[in-house]
Structure 1
């Protein structure tokens, strides 16, 4: 039995959210050069650190792994997440 979110699996919902956040962030960075939006873009691309874990290293003698995670969205990436969830609900 697969867990469902709006008729689809949670994996597909997470994929939509991640892609929406990435595309929203990229769009925000692309729009920073637009002269007409120069007054509002600094607010839309300013990041807000939610959490940041310091990197740690696991030495397995054959492979050395360094892992860390940070989540610092900006308003454009949050807008991308909202649009992705709306599109996912229609999907």
Structure 2
């Protein structure tokens, strides 16, 4: 196996997160583009996969708000797939 034995899971996770972020940025650029205005609503539609509502922790000196939501769009999913392909390739 060319890409999986000498590279760690952390590096794969880093590649996937980078691909998702770059795909999301590209999706936002496509949403504002007039060239792809007919297809853009389908490409930038988000899908709610995981949603952990915010929890407020008030320590009277510091107030912490912690929450997590995973809402990818089709372009960010495509970015993840490209990142996994590049990880396996190199």
Cα distance in 2 for residues equivalent to 1:33 and 1:62: 42
Question: Which of the two has greater strand per residue?
Answer: 1
Which residue number in structure 2 is paired with residue 8 of structure 1? Answer: 7
Q: Mind listing any 5+ residue stretches in structure 1 that lack a counterpart?
A: none
SS of aligned partner of 1:36: coil
- TM superposition score normalised by structure 1: 0.85
SS of aligned partner of 1:8: coil
SS of aligned partner of 2:48: coil
- TM superposition score normalised by structure 2: 0.86
Aligned CA-pair RMSD: 1.5
For the pair 1:26 / 2:30, whether they are aligned, the reply is no
Which residue number in structure 1 is paired with residue 50 of structure 2? Answer: 51
Higher relative contact order (CA 8 A, sep 6+): 2
Displacement over 3 Å in runs of 4+? 59-63
1:63 Cα deviation from its structure 2 partner:
3.3
- TM-superposition CA deviations, 1:26-54 (whole Å, max 9, x none): 00111223323111111000101111111
